[in-house]
Amino acid sequence: MLIERSNFALADVISINDFSLSDMNFILSQASRLEAMRIEEKNALLSGKVVASLFFEPSTRTRLSFETAAQNLGAKVVGFSDANATSQKKGETLSDTIRMVEKYSDVIVMRHPLDGSARRAAEVSAKPVINAGDGSNQHPTQTLLDLYTMRREFGKIDGLKIGMLGDLKYGRTVHSLAVALSMFDNVELYFIAPEMLKMPGHIANAIKGRVKIRESAELHEFLPELDVLYATRIQKERFADPLEYERIKDVYILTKEILQRTKSRFRIMHPLPRINEISTEIDETDAALYFQQAANGIPVREAILNTLGNEK
Amino acid sequence: MKNDDIRLTPISNGTVLDHLKVGSALKILELLKLGHQHAITLAINTESGKLGRKDLVFIEGKELSGEEINKIALIARGATLNIIKNSNVANKNKIELPKSVNGTIKCINPNCITNAESIATKFSISDAPLRAKCRYCEREMDESEIFNSVK
């Protein structure tokens, strides 16, 4: 497959804030092409290349899907899934680790507990860096797979009415997704969260004017209008008062009963892992899109690896 | 104390910082790290037609570097820089806010890579309201956070 890179301007994938609409659409289109491609054909795309997979902190979904994607494209994968097995333990700086790894590999995929670590890695590396999560800052490939899931399911993102539910204050996933969705046309966002976990003002301000926003603490108010409900986990440790958590947590649990009040094409997404915020009885319904969403991590990460792994 | 006892020593060559936000003069002195090489006069919380109240800093025999001016811009927005030569104002300019600064602000985020490894910080600056955004961790700092983090 020839890579027409003119619609993709980035040398690294570090933050969703670096993406233009054209960059995002390029990755989504590449992901569609790769999903439809036979594995034998895919296998040649990064044949002979080495992908370094540096996971300085644990991850299940992200690491496995990146490594699977790299292998599907025929690349070799080197790396580690636990920083304890590395020289970081001996006090080596991230910058030095990256300077070494870039000599061994063609693309670097990295998850690291410190915010901004991915930007730093990209600065010192001549090889492309893909951020697989830097502390509580960015996780851009999650956002891209969320967008891909919507586009794959609805055929488009423009015009969708998307609810975001749960912890909108601390959840980086919903922050990045809201920013990305605001670049599409006529998207309407519904922020549904308890008062203390509302979407932060700086995110709402950043996208205001580009997208219609409605806010409520009440899920039922918006349910009949939504195409997608993006649910997130409410973490107990965010609450100073455990009683407050107990009072709030059940209000945001999705059960089969809510599906009686939704559109027929209504879909539920979730970045996973879920704890109890989506009742398992929903899993077998058409509304459950979250497992497909996790599966979409493969073509999206293939698209990113293939785009950055093949030189311009 | 009679009024005659108060003297602002005029400087003949050097820098006068005017229209400083009240409370910023001492911070500016701390940041400029001038030691005892220069005669310095401060005026704190004086009356000002323009601001109501303001601080002033007079520094004999000193011209500020671009980096020093950037620091002042961040903690005393709207300040005026006067360059004095032979007891005359040779140049008078409102200090402009820089678009970005390197190594000038310490990131407030304890989990930022710049606080773990020795890397010069990089911030982009925006105005109205004043904000500084870390290039690495993307954390935005507000005016009071910036005031306390300029180094």
Residue B120's closest chain A neighbor by CA?
A120
| Nearest 10 degrees: Cα torsion B39, B42, B43, B48 | 90
Check residue A293 and give its pLDDT.
Answer: 97
Radius of gyration of chain A (CA): 20
pLDDT in tens, B54-66: 999 999 999 999 9
B73 in reach of chain A (CB within 8 A): no
pLDDT average per 10 residues of sequence, chain A (312 residues): 72 97 96 97 96 93 96 97 74 93 97 97 98 95 98 98 94 93 97 91 88 93 96 82 81 91 97 91 97 97 96 62
Measured CA to CA, the distance from residue A267 to residue A86 in angstroms comes to 42
Q: Answer yes or no: is pLDDT of B10 > 90.
A: no
Check residue B50 and give its pLDDT.
Answer: 82
Q: Which residues face A161 on adjacent strands?
A: A188
Instruction: Please check whether residue A261 is in contact with residue A224, taking contact to mean a CB–CB distance below 8 angstroms.
Output: yes
- Helices assigned H by DSSP within A163-240: 172-181, 201-207, 219-222
pLDDT in tens, B98-128: 999 999 999 999 999 999 999 999 999 999 8
Check residue A246 and give its pLDDT.
Answer: 83
For tokens 């491609």, name the residue.
A37
User: Average pLDDT for residues B46-56, to the nearest whole number?
Assistant: 91
Contact B117 A17 (CB under 8 A): no
Q: Given CA atoms A165, A169, A170, A171 in this order, what sign does their dihedral have?
A: positive
From A131's Cα to the closest Cα of chain B, the distance in A is 12
A15 in reach of chain B (CB within 8 A): yes
Topology match between the domains A5-138+297-309 and A140-294: yes
Contact A115 B109 (CB under 8 A): yes
Q: Which residues face B150 on adjacent strands?
A: B105
Domains of chain A, by residue range, sit at 5-138+297-309, 140-294
Instruction: Please check whether residue A94 is in contact with residue A114, taking contact to mean a CB–CB distance below 8 angstroms.
Output: yes
For tokens 């990305």, name the residue.
A180
CATH code for A5-138+297-309? 3.40.50.1370
Check residue B51 and give its pLDDT.
Answer: 85
Check residue B146 and give its pLDDT.
Answer: 97
Question: How many A×B Cβ pairs under 8 Å?
Answer: 49
Sheet with A188-192: strands ordered across: A212-216, A188-192, A161-165, A228-231, A267-269
Average pLDDT score, chain A = 93
A140-294: CATH superfamily: Aspartate/ornithine carbamoyltransferase (3.40.50.1370)
pLDDT in tens, A244-270: 888 777 778 899 999 999 999 999 999
Contact A115 B139 (CB under 8 A): yes
| Cβ atoms within 10 Å of A22's Cβ, excluding its own | 12
In a 13 Å sphere around the CA of A50, the CA atoms on its Cβ side amount to: 10
